[in-house]
Amino acid sequence: MRNFRWSVQMPDPDQVKRLSEAINVSEPIAKALVNRDITTFDEAKAFFRPTVTDLHSPLLMNDMDKALQRARKAIENREKIMIYGDYDVDGTTSTAMLMLFFQSIGAEVSYYINDRHTEGYGVSDQGIRHAVDSGVNLIISVDCGIRANAQVTESMAKGIDFIICDHHEPEDLPEALAILNPKRKDSTYPYQDLCGCGVAYKLLQAVGESLDMPVEHMLSYLDFVSLAIAADIVEMTGENRAMMVFGLERIKTSPRNNFKVMAEVCGFDLANISSSSIVFGIGPRINAAGRMNHANEAVQWMLASNESESREYAMKLEEINTERRKVDLDIFKEADRMAEVAAHNYHSSLTLFKEEWHIGVIGIVASRILEKYYRPTVILAGSDGVLKGSVRSVQGVNVYDALADCKEHLLQYGGHEFAAGLTLEPQQLDAFRTAFDEACEKQFHIDLQTPELRIDAEITLQQITAKFYRVLKQFSPFGPRNQRPVFLTRSLKLMTPPKLLKDAHIKCSVRDELGNVFDAIGFNMPEWFDRLNTMNSSFDMVYTIDENTWNGRESLQLKIKDLWI
């Protein structure tokens, strides 16, 4: 019985040996590094010890010279600047970051974020009207705008210049004054996978450098970027990794009052904040504002100027998130019942719809259905006479491309390889469901239909030492293309009968053939309890290595990912 398709990585042994000797680490550590395309001493040094030089010059980005010139003109002439942000973590952090930065240099700046429920995603006609009515001279969009051709044209026609800071896949570029997007087909920027806040930071960096700002001051804004990188699930490589390291360090050592208060509300220690703390702690609370009410509440928390104001907004976000949890659980239960039926008729995707579902949480529900059924998932709800939805995908199936194959059935779509949004007419639902399943089937080959579990190295328990773990910890922060290293050990036996904790988690002690013993825990694996409890044979285990603190004592434990008996 396995839950995954095991894939033991087999990096070039000569590369592994050379790297192991060059940086004085064990071969399993070197294998994990080579699996991440780190093969030389210099690459390992950059990976483990990012420096300011790992941040590329913002002037390498297409149109940055135009954007910088226009932003400087607006600042110097006290023109009205409006930051136009998306309503998720990436968009709201971008908005707050640029608001605080421009305010700090005396610019006249305001912001606008769509109401998810009435305006939807992207730059809206209503947003442009607001800018016109407010006498805005320059709009800077963040985490949106790359497909707002009509709205950008309207803005420019009304005498409002438009700078786009976005990272979504572009098609026909809008007629904006400047388009900052490393995914442009003609991009000359050396790193493609910035999040929206990362792109906005490059503009901040360009303006700051032009004003001879101290590097430390510009780096102080990377705490916002780190929230966005983690929450937007972009690659944890290259420049993203460097910005994430600097941002987390800022939060740990010099946190804003806003983050201190939110940590208290979330119940975690800022001194030990990680990408997981953001993904499961801060991120959902920020997102909940835009999902359930309005994202302005999240931005107001980030912009709060004193602790009492920050606490008021943080508590409000906590209340909203509690409500969001209840709503998305109720919808998930309904969607799960539908998925059980639909899975018999559609073998490469699931498209589920109910008019009354809350449009703000359907993305979360899509992720949960995907996790259970492991096939590309579309969740749709009714909105002002049309259907709006969120799409989530599995490794190897690019849903943006799949939606492009179905675009004759859609009013609008956009997004990434793994996540997208769409709008369609109700009468197109059945045709879209069939077309999308066919489009996914072209990509969803048989070997992709069981989730892959990539294993960095096969090791013995004897190789897990305190030094080994100290090096492993330095692989963090973790994220796409730099997941926590995964190991395989064969022929293990139970030392004691397993325990079932909270009817969900298995806990046991395991021993290898050499007599080495470790505690192991498997979260949400109740299906393994009976099998382990009644067997006498040995088994293979795939796991990560973690630290466990109990009664003031710290010890290493194995975090089970899968078993093979």
Query: Residue for token digits 């059945």?
Result: 430
Are residue 19 and residue 60 in the same domain, yes or no? no
Instruction: State the DSSP string of 283-294.
Output: HHHHHHHHHHS-
487 in any annotated domain: yes
Are residue 394 and residue 532 in the same domain, yes or no? no
What number is the average pLDDT over the span 329-343? 96
Its domain, for residue 375, covers: 346-448
198 in any annotated domain: yes
> Model pTM?
0.92
Burial 186-205 (b: 16+ CB within 10 A, else e): ebebebebbbbbbbbbbbbb
Mean pLDDT of the chain: 94
Are residue 478 and residue 551 in the same domain, yes or no? yes
What number is the average pLDDT over the span 517-534? 89
Using pLDDT thresholds of 50, 70 and 90, give the confidence band for residue 308. very high
CA distance 254 to 260: 10
Query: Residue for token digits 């940086």?
Result: 23
Are residue 427 and residue 558 in the same domain, yes or no? no
Nearest CA-CA partner of 126 in 144, 114, 143, 138:
114
* Choice among 53-62, 202-211, 364-373, 410-419 with the minimum mean pLDDT: 410-419
Using pLDDT thresholds of 50, 70 and 90, give the confidence band for residue 1. very low
Contact 132, 154 (CB under 8 A): no
Task: Tell me the three state secondary structure of residue 563.
Answer: strand
Here the CATH number for the domain that contains residue 416 is 3.10.310.30
* Choice among 82-86, 275-279, 380-384, 534-538 with the minimum mean pLDDT: 534-538
Are residue 144 and residue 201 in the same domain, yes or no? yes
**Would you say residue 36 has pLDDT above 60?**
yes
Using pLDDT thresholds of 50, 70 and 90, give the confidence band for residue 117. confident
Here the CATH number for the domain that contains residue 205 is 3.90.1640.30
Nearest CA-CA partner of 436 in 386, 471, 402:
402
Among 425, 448, 471, which residue terminates a domain?
448
**Would you say residue 535 has pLDDT above 80?**
no
Are residue 418 and residue 477 in the same domain, yes or no? no
364 in any annotated domain: yes
Using pLDDT thresholds of 50, 70 and 90, give the confidence band for residue 565. confident
pLDDT at 457: 98
Are residue 490 and residue 414 in the same domain, yes or no? no
Are residue 61 and residue 204 in the same domain, yes or no? yes
292 in any annotated domain: no
Give residue-wise pLDDT tens across range 178-194: 999 999 999 999 999 99
245 in any annotated domain: no
Are residue 204 and residue 92 in the same domain, yes or no? yes
506 in any annotated domain: yes
pLDDT at 537: 83
**What's the structural domain count of the chain?**
3
The terminus-to-terminus CA distance of the chain in angstroms comes to 7
Q: How far is CA 206 from CA 168, 189, 564, in A?
A: 21, 14, 53
Give residue-wise pLDDT tens across range 417-448: 888 899 999 999 999 999 999 999 999 988 88
pLDDT at 2: 53
282 in any annotated domain: no
